Structure 1
Amino acid sequence: MSRSILKQRLITEYPTSTISDAYRSLRANIEFSIRGEALQTISVTSALPGEGKSTVTASVAVAYAQTSRRVLIIDADLRKPAQHELFGLSNRHGLSTALTKRSGLNDVIQRTNIDHLEVLTAGPLPSNPSELLESISMTELLETSKERFDIVFIDTPSIMTLSDALVVASKSDGVVLVMKAGKVKNEILLESKAALDYGQVKIIGAVLNNVNR
């Protein structure tokens, strides 16, 4: 599914469609997986680029917002961000400006056309993304977000191409691994899981994307 199509689908919302039902099921599965645990910040990543992690992040966040919970998406892909395109938002300011203290958090979080859902876009691409994501400022930003929102979804880069995903995942309460059917070999998935285990990241579950039904 292209980003332009997703943007239209998110804004117009097809509550009875198969796709919407799939994301409601994903929401229920996440709820079941974290039942009894205080998990508020959930990173969404993939082994390789192009597996649909940004689409999954946006869509499951919409599914949560439909339950009237306060939801925030943070685009922590400071190299190739997507959330501003998916929701049709400005990317002039965002996470990068918040982490470098050029903007306050309240100034960079943007409302969407979906009730209860707000987005912190990536902002201008910085020269030092890994350092910003690993900073104390990022830790503090996540803690502040947890105070303001019921659940926070973090869109991160893929695991096997950049260290950024592991840096952010280690600061999150848990991670969801997105896999595109027919794209990633088993050994790559095992390496991705091993990397998350090494970083002592709690794996909530995995999403098999682009399945031919």
Structure 2
Amino acid sequence: MRDRKMNNEVASAKKIIVATKPHSPVSEQFRTIRTNIMYSSIDRPIRSVLFTSAVAGAGKSTIAANVAIAYAQAGKKTLLLDGDLRRPTCHYTFKVSNQKGLSTAIVNDIALEDLVNQTEFDDLDLITSGPIPPNPSELLSSKKLTQFIDHLKFQYEMIIVDSPPLLSVTDAQLLSKSADGVILITDVENNNRNHLLEAKDLLNKADANIIGLVLNNRTIKDKSKDDYYYYQASHDV
């Protein structure tokens, strides 16, 4: 049991590298993503961003968590919202309970302070997914979700939303309607142009504002073995 706990702690530390290794090239790339988001729109400030991918395994949850920390480190009051009601991971990353969260907020009237988890990072709060419901898509298409996120926008300067992959379920399309911008995540090993184009088409049908693409797991040359990958941001999809 102790070994399992230590392994979970090591895994969490690896995921939030922008905090554990703030001076690494990986962390600098997360700050670059933050900067690119800030300058992605001049007339309409981006205050909520949905992170999604075409297929599973691209690393969207890890990137969303690190970008959220990067915003908090910049002094922005930030919320990380786990919108993945099927395979949530944020509560594992930040080692908090998932007994109540987004799913319970949609179904029941719960005070915001009873949903928010304070993290170890100043200016960063977390709302987990909550218990996995039998009907995620129905919950995410409800008016209560829109009202809930609109309420959150009055409380935070930046909201980072983690969502399921686009080609698996409709959840990300539904969530994208409440976000100011959407960032697609892909990784080098499984990068597939057709999948990305299909994901882009689905977002366009939902009238989502696609602001960028992040290429994950690109190898760094001539760096220490600890910095074996990094995240490269682009505004081209």
What TM bracket, shorter-length normalisation? over 0.9
Rounded to whole Å, the distance in 1 between the matches of 2:53 and 2:206 is 15
Q: Which aligned pairs between 1:82-93 and structure 2 lie closer than 5 A? A: 82-93=89-100
Rounded to whole Å, the distance in 2 between the matches of 1:59 and 1:107 is 24
1:7 aligns with 2:5: no
Paired residue total: 212
Name the residue aligned to 2:149.
Answer: 142
8 Å contact 1:41–1:154 — kept in the other structure? Answer: yes
TM-superposed deviation, 1:177: 0.5
TM-superposed deviation, 1:103: 2.7
Q: TM-score, normalised by structure 2?
A: 0.85
TM-superposed deviation, 1:34: 2.4
Rounded to whole Å, the distance in 1 between the matches of 2:179 and 2:149 is 8
Distance 1:5 1:24, change over 3 A: farther
1:105 aligns with 2:107: no
Q: Which aligned pairs between 1:180-191 and structure 2 lie closer than 5 A? A: 180-191=187-198
Q: Give ranges in structure 1 of 5+ residues lacking alignment.
A: none
Name the residue aligned to 1:200.
Answer: 207
TM-superposed deviation, 1:4: 4.9
SS in 2 for 1:144: helix
Q: Give ranges in structure 2 of 5+ residues lacking alignment.
A: 1-6, 221-237
Q: TM-score, normalised by structure 1?
A: 0.94
Q: Which aligned pairs between 1:1-213 and structure 2 lie closer than 5 A? A: 4-5=9-10, 7-9=12-14, 10=16, 13-101=20-108, 103-213=110-220
User: Which string of whole-angstrom CA distances, capped at 9 and with x for unpartnered residues, describes residues 118-159 of structure 1?
Assistant: 000001111111111111110011111100000101100000
Name the residue aligned to 2:234.
Answer: none
**Max radius of gyration: which structure?**
2
Rounded to whole Å, the distance in 2 between the matches of 1:102 and 1:136 is 13
Moved over 6 A (4+): none
Rounded to whole Å, the distance in 2 between the matches of 1:5 and 1:152 is 26
Rounded to whole Å, the distance in 1 between the matches of 2:36 and 2:94 is 25
TM-superposed deviation, 1:91: 0.5
SS in 2 for 1:127: coil
Rounded to whole Å, the distance in 1 between the matches of 2:121 and 2:72 is 8
Provide the aligned C-alpha RMSD in A.
Answer: 1.7
Greater relative contact order (Cα < 8 A, sep 6+): 1
Rounded to whole Å, the distance in 1 between the matches of 2:46 and 2:123 is 19
Rounded to whole Å, the distance in 1 between the matches of 2:169 and 2:50 is 15
8 Å contact 1:77–1:156 — kept in the other structure? Answer: yes
TM-superposed deviation, 1:32: 1.6
Percent of paired sites with the same residue: 36
8 Å contact 2:38–2:46 — kept in the other structure? Answer: no
